[in-house]
Amino acid sequence: MTTETLETHQYDVIVIGAGGSGLRAAVAAAEGGLKVAVITKSLLGKAHTVMAEGGAAASFGNLDAPDGWETHFYDTMRSGHFINNYRAVEIFALEAPDRVLELEEWGAVFDRTSAGRIMQRAFGAHSFRRLCHIGDHTGLELLRTMQYKSIHSGIDFFMEVTLTTLLKDGERVAGAFGYYRADGRFVLFRAKAVILSTGGWGRIYKITSNSWESTGDGAAMAFRAGADLTDMEMVQFHPTGMVWPPGVRGLLVTEGVRGEGGLLYNSEGERFMERYDPARMELSSRDVVARSIFKEVQAGRGTPHGGAWLDISHKGAEYVKRKLPAMYEQFLTLADLDITRERFEVAPTCHYTMGGIRVDAESCASSVPGLFAAGEVAAGLHGANRLGGNSLTDLLVFGRRAGLGASAYVQAWQGDAPKVDQATVEAEMVRIVAPFQRSEGINPYQLHQQLQELMTVHAGIMRSGDVLAEGLEKILDLKDRARQMMAAGSRTYNPGWHAVFDVENMLLLCEGIVRSALERKESRGAHWRTDYPDELEEFQRVNYVESYRDGEIQVRTEAVSPMPERLAKLFTYGKAPGLVSPAEREAMG
Amino acid sequence: MSEGITLSVWRGDKDGGEEVGYQVPAVPGMVVLDALHWVQQNAQPDLAVRWNCKAAHCGSCGAEVNGEPKLLCKTRLDDYAGETVRVRPMATFPVIKDLVTDVSWNYQVAEQIPPLDPAVPAPFTMYQEDASRVQEFHRCIECFLCQDTCHVLRNHDGTDKYFGPRFMVKIAEYEMHAVDQGDRVPLLAQAAGLNMCNVTKCCTEVCPQHIRITDNAIIPLKERVVDRYYDPIRTLFRRLAGR
């Protein structure tokens, strides 16, 4: 039994994860006068949010006046293939512009229109030019702005602290436990409310645009603590990741390249999107473009390294360097290629997890009292496919909502602060140092690679029942072997030790993905099954919801809430609501 | 590309350490961080290196490669063909372990900079030419390589005298913002220690985002300090006005 002293902190609200949604949540909670801490496993300002490039969607209509929240709502529901939580989408579309303007007041400097307003660019499956951006580093702008806002908001920060478990007092959340990465020291946070803003789990695939952090820690911890997950089968493959050289495979090529006029070609020089979506072409939704590239490669019309050509050189060097500076630099440095002069290869790369913790649209509350979630770790807004540009605004809209939701929960608190069970904490201490005590065991990095290969083959962009079922067997086998993962060396800044917990979290979520993917016997959005190639009406009415009880994942269906008349009406005009004249509306009732 | 790569990585902690050699198989387009990952996966899982995005967007993996401050994710190994690639932690900051340093001082400095103070509520009317003046500064990824190379901080223990180039860029971002009404010139002249910089441009040279730190941030800020405190005509007016 360990005898080391346990550093303990007490807060009203702890926020786990310091990306855009976590910082926005912390600011909202701190503005309510609560004692708030943000805990991040990285340094402040490094979260995966910085990887977002193209922009933040908000229907200002600065360039396209007919845009408005109704059309943003319409585009988001359509791209989510109608299994989204409609209320979340409504809140999102309504509140997005205010959240972007807040950023402007806090220091973000977006590109400008000639009228001196925020510039907006076209993006896949958005009816109007809608993405507020600063070149192709909008995520960096959002995160840096939130970082400097939050350090002046009376919030405490714990950097490079990894949490391994949530703690509960009866049904309610009571805090979290983990360790400082710098020296391996244990730390306990007691809190009335916990907000999870830990991002997605894109590291489960071999070819991914996701950073080190995206290992699904928050979703896995919440799942173990009793929170429901939903839409786990929905994983987005971004159509355009880098392909060559191998060292950079999967690295994101922003959709902004197509938004700014980039064209896709196959090896025969055809603009193949004509075959799959002639109306929207390169600016079709991500699920469609990714599948189209995949099909072209399968049909033998791929580029030398198995992708499609993307070409933006016709826009001129000056324009490309101004609007896509990071892309220009990325290809020049990492691939010796000048995108202002040459076309380049792209292929799908794992990008985003639409599924996650099932939350209330208004407050971001999960099914565990006191536990809230926002951003990629939460589910419901994006349905079966996320629109580009919606994730950054998601962080702001629902980050704030989670902060307010947690504040209201804390303010309504009656009685004593939640108790933390000492025996549970001691058992966790023993569990997390156990990998050091195995003198023979499995290297977690190698297990991670096996998991990535398995998921790519068995639950990737193209799925079928047999292959998924076989994948599930393999995951269960890996889970068994994962009990033997070991760590060498000391507890001082030990990434191999950390990887043990990353892999455990990813394994649990991978099992969840495959179990829901087996159940959804149709193709919808990002979920493409070759044995059920059609989108089926009956499946539009359900979300797959998972709970974790006694070490087993249980999958059930929950009905998708039908839209009320005022929103359902928006889909009856046969075109984007922004393009419907008042007279036409009148005529249609 | 069957040639192997010879890496020499500093391993150790605050009590000291030494360079340790590793042989890593080469893959086309490989960067230094890939080679370190290979070592973690195949030989030494506890090798400490800080990284997040591996795409030069987050600025976590700053270190020194053959003596030069670099992002490990952006430094191609084929630039060092035939050489031993020596990787060491940033020298300006206290080491935690191996290539990971304690950069917390930078976060303490950040807190001392007053935030944007807009004169009007959003939406701002701001034209692209105004935006362009400061957007360069917004490209900063806070890798702290400029802080690492700045000789005031690196060689003269100047962390109590100078905020360093990163934070001159941050202050310039606010000071040159079209809608900001804050005044950070007294801060620059005093606690921020702008006068410590003698414009050798080392910071500009190492910036992986190609921000022209010295020319576009530091020199214009120095001009503001000089105008405020050292312009003889202004000083005369100030005296006459009794201020």
Distance from CA of B136 to the nearest CA of A (A): 10
Q: Alpha-carbon distance A300 to A65, whole Å?
A: 43
Query: How far is CA A417 from each of CA A10, A168, A169, A173, B60, rounded to the nearest angstrom?
Result: 10, 12, 10, 11, 37
Q: Alpha-carbon distance A384 to A525, whole Å?
A: 5
Report DSSP state, residue B214: I
Amino acid at B72: L
Numbers of helices and strands, H then E, in chain B: 10, 7
What per-residue confidence (pLDDT) applies to A1?
A: 46
Q: Alpha-carbon distance A327 to A347, whole Å?
A: 15
Residues B118, B226: one domain?
yes
Instruction: For residue A352, give both structure tokens.
Output: 């985003």
Look at residues B193, B128, B52 and name the one whose alpha carbon lies nearest to residue A495.
B52
State phi, psi for A231 to the nearest 5 degrees. Answer: 55, 30
**Three-class DSSP category at A234:** coil
Cis before A562? omega within 30: no
Q: Alpha-carbon distance B147 to B113, whole Å?
A: 16
Residues B113, B196: one domain?
yes
Mark yes or no for CB contact B53/A51 under 8 Å. yes
Residue B110 touches chain A, beta carbons under 8 Å: yes
Q: Alpha-carbon distance A319 to A325, whole Å?
A: 9
Q: Alpha-carbon distance B80 to B73, whole Å?
A: 15
Residue B243 lies in a domain: no
**Three-class DSSP category at A154:** coil
Residue B69 pLDDT exceeds 60: yes
Residues B79, B133: one domain?
no
Distance from CA of B237 to the nearest CA of A (A): 34
State the CB neighbour count (10 A cutoff) for residue B128. Answer: 15
Look at residues A286, A297, A305 and name the one whose alpha carbon lies nearest to residue A240.
A286
**Cβ neighbours of residue B160 under 8 Å, at least 6 residues apart?**
none
Contact residues on chain B for A333, CB-CB shorter than 8 A: 56, 74, 76
Contact residues on chain A for B31, CB-CB shorter than 8 A: 247, 334
Numbers of helices and strands, H then E, in chain A: 18, 19
Q: Alpha-carbon distance A385 to A392, whole Å?
A: 15
Residues B112, B207: one domain?
yes
The number of folded domains in chain B is 2
**ipTM of this complex:** 0.96
Look at residues A118, A143, A146 and name the one whose alpha carbon lies nearest to residue A133.
A118
Q: Alpha-carbon distance A137 to A94, whole Å?
A: 25
CATH number, domain containing residue B43: 3.10.20.30
H or E segment at A549? strand A542-549
Residue B62 lies in a domain: yes
State phi, psi for A7 to the nearest 5 degrees. Answer: -70, 130
Q: Which of A247, A325, A493 sits opposite B48 (nearest CB)?
A: A493
Q: Apex CA B155: angle with CA B150 and CA B158, to 5°?
A: 75
| Inter-residue contact A434 to A499 (CB < 8 Å) | no
Domain A240-350, classified CATH 3.90.700.10, yes or no: yes
Q: Alpha-carbon distance A203 to A451, whole Å?
A: 10
Report DSSP state, residue B180: B
Distance from CA of B14 to the nearest CA of A (A): 11
**Nearest chain B residue to A213, by CA:** B52
Q: Which of B30, B110, B170 sits opposite A247 (nearest CB)?
A: B30
Contact residues on chain A for B47, CB-CB shorter than 8 A: 495
Q: Is A238 a catalytic residue?
A: yes
What per-residue confidence (pLDDT) applies to A247?
A: 84
Look at residues A549, A355, A410 and name the one whose alpha carbon lies nearest to residue A29.
A410
Residues B63, B88: one domain?
yes
Q: Match 């324009």 to its residue by tokens.
A: A319
Sequence ranges of the domains in chain A:
240-350, 439-547
Q: Match 């059930």 to its residue by tokens.
A: A556
Residue B1 banded pLDDT, cuts 50, 70, 90: very low
Residues B94, B138: one domain?
no
Q: Which of B52, B104, B210 sits opposite A211 (nearest CB)?
A: B52
**Cβ neighbours of residue A386 under 8 Å, at least 6 residues apart?**
A79, A80, A236, A286, A352, A354
Residue B240 lies in a domain: no
Residues B109, B93: one domain?
no
Contact residues on chain A for B142, CB-CB shorter than 8 A: 45, 144
The A residues from 319 to 378 touching B (CB cutoff 8 Å) are: 325-326, 329-330, 333-335
Residue B147 lies in a domain: yes
Pairing of strands A344-353, A235-242: antiparallel
Determine the residue among B57, B78, B113, B167 to mutate to test chain A binding: the one whose Cβ has the most chain A Cβ atoms within 10 Å.
Answer: B57
| Partners of B68 in beta bridges | B65
- Full domain range(s) for residue B113: 104-232
Question: Crossing angle for the helix pair A390-411 and A138-150, nearest 10 degrees?
Answer: 20
State phi, psi for A348 to the nearest 5 degrees. Answer: -60, 145
Q: Which of B13, B34, B60 sits opposite A42 (nearest CB)?
A: B60
Distance from CA of B172 to the nearest CA of A (A): 12
Residues B43, B108: one domain?
no
| Inter-residue contact A265 to A580 (CB < 8 Å) | no
Residue B191 lies in a domain: yes
Residue B27 touches chain A, beta carbons under 8 Å: yes
Q: What is the pLDDT along chain A (589 residues), one digit of tens a residue?
A: 455 779 999 999 999 999 999 999 999 999 999 999 999 999 999 999 999 989 999 999 999 999 999 999 999 999 999 999 999 999 999 999 999 999 999 999 999 999 999 999 999 999 999 999 999 999 999 999 999 999 999 999 999 999 999 999 999 999 999 999 999 999 999 999 999 999 999 999 999 999 999 999 999 999 999 999 999 999 999 999 999 998 889 999 999 999 999 999 999 999 999 999 999 999 999 999 999 999 999 999 999 999 999 999 999 999 999 999 999 999 999 999 999 999 999 999 999 999 999 999 999 999 999 999 999 999 999 999 999 999 999 999 999 999 999 999 999 998 898 999 999 999 999 999 999 999 889 999 999 999 999 999 999 999 999 999 999 999 999 999 999 999 999 999 999 999 999 999 999 999 999 999 999 999 999 999 999 999 999 999 999 999 999 999 999 999 999 999 999 999 999 999 999 999 998 888 7
Q: Alpha-carbon distance B97 to B106, whole Å?
A: 18
Amino acid at A567: L
| Burial of A464: CB neighbours in 10 Å, binned 0-12, 13-18, 19+ | middle
| Inter-residue contact A132 to A396 (CB < 8 Å) | no
Sequence-ordered strand ranges (E) for chain B:
4-13, 16-25, 62-65, 68-71, 85-88, 95-97, 100-101
CATH number, domain containing residue B158: 1.10.1060.10
Q: Alpha-carbon distance A468 to A460, whole Å?
A: 9
Residues B123, B217: one domain?
yes
Residue B199 pLDDT exceeds 50: yes
Q: Alpha-carbon distance A33 to A61, whole Å?
A: 35
Q: Which of B13, B34, B123 sits opposite A104 (nearest CB)?
A: B123
Instruction: For residue B124, give both structure tokens.
Output: 């701002």
Three-state SS annotation for A420-438: CCHHHHHHHHHHHHHHHHC
Residues B109, B96: one domain?
no
Of the residues A238, A286, A343, A386, only one is catalytic, namely A238
Residue B241 lies in a domain: no
**Three-class DSSP category at A9:** strand
Q: Alpha-carbon distance B61 to B5, whole Å?
A: 20
| Inter-residue contact A402 to A395 (CB < 8 Å) | no
Q: How many CB pairs under 8 A join A and B?
A: 186
Mark yes or no for CB contact B50/A109 under 8 Å. no
Of the residues A129, A137, A258, A351, only one is catalytic, namely A258
Residue B14 touches chain A, beta carbons under 8 Å: no
> Burial letters for A30-66: b for 16+ Cβ neighbours within 10 Å, e otherwise?
bebebbbbbbbbbbbbbbbbbbbbbbbbbbbbbbbee
Report DSSP state, residue B215: I
In chain B, the percentage of residues whose pLDDT exceeds 70 is 98
Q: Is A126 a catalytic residue?
A: no
State phi, psi for B77 to the nearest 5 degrees. Answer: -75, -25
Distance from CA of B3 to the nearest CA of A (A): 16
| Burial of B119: CB neighbours in 10 Å, binned 0-12, 13-18, 19+ | exposed
| Inter-residue contact A501 to A449 (CB < 8 Å) | no
Mark yes or no for CB contact B126/A112 under 8 Å. yes
| Partners of A353 in beta bridges | A235
| Inter-residue contact A322 to A347 (CB < 8 Å) | no
Q: Match 């360990």 to its residue by tokens.
A: A2
Name the CATH topology of A439-547: Methane Monooxygenase Hydroxylase; Chain G, domain 1 (1.20.58)
What per-residue confidence (pLDDT) applies to A269?
A: 97
The B residues from 47 to 106 touching A (CB cutoff 8 Å) are: 47-60, 74, 76, 96-98, 100, 102-104
| Inter-residue contact A321 to A340 (CB < 8 Å) | yes
Residue A305 touches chain B, beta carbons under 8 Å: no
**Cβ neighbours of residue B108 under 8 Å, at least 6 residues apart?**
none
Distance from CA of A134 to the nearest CA of B (A): 8
Mark yes or no for CB contact A246/B142 under 8 Å. no
Residue A497 touches chain B, beta carbons under 8 Å: yes
Mark yes or no for CB contact B110/A152 under 8 Å. no
What per-residue confidence (pLDDT) applies to A439?
A: 83
Residues B50, B169: one domain?
no
| Inter-residue contact A249 to B55 (CB < 8 Å) | no
What per-residue confidence (pLDDT) applies to B230?
A: 87
Q: Is the dihedral of CA A127, A130, A135, A140 positive or negative?
A: negative
**Cβ neighbours of residue A340 under 8 Å, at least 6 residues apart?**
A312, A313, A316, A317, A320, A321, A328
The A residues from 460 to 479 touching B (CB cutoff 8 Å) are: none
Q: Alpha-carbon distance A469 to A574, whole Å?
A: 40
Residues B227, B119: one domain?
yes
State phi, psi for B211 to the nearest 5 degrees. Answer: -75, 130
Mark yes or no for CB contact B45/A111 under 8 Å. no
Residue B175 touches chain A, beta carbons under 8 Å: no
Contact residues on chain B for A134, CB-CB shorter than 8 A: 135, 138
